[in-house]
Amino acid sequence: MTIIVTGGAGFIGGNYIYYHLKAHPEDRVICLDKLTYAGNLSTLSAVMNYPNFRFVKLDICDREGVYRLFEEEKPDVVINFAAESHVDRSIENPSVFLQTNIIGTSVLMDACRKYGIQRFHQVGTDEVYGDLPLDRPDLFFTEETPIHTSSPYSSSKASADLLVMAYHRTYGLPVTISRCSNNYGPYQFPEKLIPLMIINALHDKPLPVYGEGLNVRDWLYVEDHCKAIDLIVRNGKVGEVYNVGGHNEMRNIDIVKLIVYALDKSEDLISFVTDRKGHDLRYAIDPTKIHNALGWLPETKFEDGIKKTIAWYLENQSWWKEIISGEYQKYYQRMYANR
């Protein structure tokens, strides 16, 4: 198969490309990425010279460019990871999120309609469901949970999901959607909670925690997520939504303390800051549907995954130091200056 992976220079998309090329070496993978602040081409350095891999710098909102790429590559499958995804940034500048997450998704699906594909898969988020109360641990998000968004980011992702289902109903586009819980693992951009705490702790800098740090998230190791997406694309039922969760619920403050202890640092580094506007209290996914339909279950326990993640950031300091310094943004020019 020929597969286009959008947003493949980002955290989850990059991990997916590594997983796919290893699991299905017979496939051709094309990575389409705009290389915004969170897109880091050095993440893909190990596969850049693979004969069955191609990188294309392109904005998914660029209709002419997207159509040209589809005409060249004639993809069988499109997996859309491309998204603006940071809640705080969406509060500061909502319009960018609406443009990429909604309009960009529509451009991709129009290309799929025009050139024909076997599957369009939309990578979504559990944040479209809103949040759950902290005092009801028996409640979980299912695929039937009503959409109830809290931020411009989650609203833009919910809008994209609705548009995907509308294209399926109206045009017969073969689509699937996955909605995942919080991912963690290698190559995650340093502004996110876990890498931010690891890097700040290594430098003995304050560890900023919103409110009292009591917000609960369901943490999913990124490789487990990649396996789930691959299963959905290959075996999932067209027109269906699948929730992908880790069954690893943790309070933010407990994650921060775990990182502090793992790096032999002091809790005095923890700094409680003013809470985020509209901060969701708890996310928790029930993955029963994907387990029953496709046999998927998360394989990585949080205590194991966080150890692997901390070790990765310790062993790959050049990767995140380039990001912190801004040098990573020059990688594209270095890679392509003479091509």
Which sequence positions are flagged as catalytic? 126-127, 153
- Going by the DSSP 8-state scheme, the letter that residue 192 receives in this structure is S
DSSP letter for 210, please. Answer: E
Structural contact between residues 246 and 298, judged by C-beta atoms closer than 8 angstroms: yes
- Dist. CA 117–CA 70, nearest whole Å: 10
Burial of 267 (0-12, 13-18, 19+ CB in 10 A): exposed
Name, in order, each residue with C-beta under 8 angstroms of 245's C-beta and a sequence gap of 6 or more. Answer: 126, 140, 141, 180, 181, 218, 220, 284, 285, 286, 287, 298
Rg (CA), the chain: 19
User: What is the b/e burial string over 162-174, where b = at least 16 CB atoms within 10 angstroms of the residue's CB?
Assistant: ebbbebbeeeebb
Instruction: Say if residues 69 and 30 touch (Cβ distance below 8 Å).
Output: yes
Give the number of other Cβ atoms within 10 Å of residue 197's Cβ. Answer: 27
The strand order across the sheet containing 216-221 reads 182-184, 216-221, 249-251
Residue 327 dihedral angles phi and psi, to the nearest 5°: -65, -25
Q: Which of 245, 178, 189 is nearest to 217 (CA)?
A: 245
- Half-sphere exposure at residue 138, Cβ-oriented, CA atoms within 13 angstroms: 0
Query: Could you give the C-alpha distances from 296 to 4, 74, 101, 185, 232, in angstroms and in order?
Result: 23, 30, 27, 19, 10
